[in-house]
Chain A
């Protein structure tokens, strides 16, 4: 039970913004939202995480709804290299770092 819901796939054009949604309606007050992505034939890599406030880093932005039941990963300008499976994961500090991966969203970026 991944406890998050994501669309199976999304498409984007190169250099356009991409908004990847995630629903986590049963999230607890101490759960963080983490995003990882997996490029073809590679292991997953960390993208971003947050608790309540919106977060930005060099890779992406994370917008978390006020009720924390959903979040959106934002890629500001998609590149071909951003084509990957994106995983939205909820987890807290008491779980020994165990990540429960769902199916993720397959992002296709068109040139």
Chain B
């Protein structure tokens, strides 16, 4: 199994509070992703990173920010959590090979976030 951990695994917070989720990898993979999963929507990409300090928006980035100061860590921040951000959040990593196909993504165990 790929070395991906997410913390915390569960969190309950109140509307308006800031929340930071951490994804940590031991694989030294260049690419990291944050997805959210909600019933009826499947997994949707929030933000992704293609290197240290290099990030870009995904499909549902509003209300989220990310940072990647080290290869191994990718942080997802909800500046002011809302109830609509209650979801399960998955981190993923991959190592895209130059000129090759989209490489396999390895997913973390997920963080269940509840915003009251």
Contact = CB atoms under 8 A, between A and B. Distances in A.
Interface in B21-64: 31, 33, 35, 40, 42-45, 48, 50, 56, 58-59
Contact of A95 (B42, B44, B100, B102): B102
Interface stretch (A21-29, A61-69, A74-82, A99-107): A99-107
Contacts of A101: 35, 42-44
B104 A46 contact: yes
Interface string B48-86: 101000001011000000000000000000000000000
A60 interface: no
B58 A44 contact: no
Contact of B102 (A43, A91, A103): A91
Given A98-B33, A101-B43, A51 B106 contact: no
A43 B108 contact: yes
Nearest to B107: A43
Contacts of A97: 31, 33, 48, 94, 96, 102-103, 105
Q: How large, as a class, is the contact surface on chain A?
A: 20 to 34
Given A46-B106, A93-B99, A99 B42 contact: no
Contacts of A99: 33, 43, 45, 92, 102, 105
Interface residues of B, number: 29
A96 B101 contact: no
A71 to B, nearest CB: 15
A98 B58 contact: yes
A111 B103 CA distance: 34
A98 B45 contact: yes
A102 B42 contact: yes
Given A34-B102, A51-B101, A98-B58, A45 B107 contact: yes
A98 B104 contact: no
Given A100-B59, A103-B40, A104-B42, 13 more contacts: A2-B42, A42-B110, A44-B90, A44-B105, A44-B107, A92-B101, A93-B99, A95-B102, A96-B31, A97-B96, A97-B102, A99-B92, A99-B105
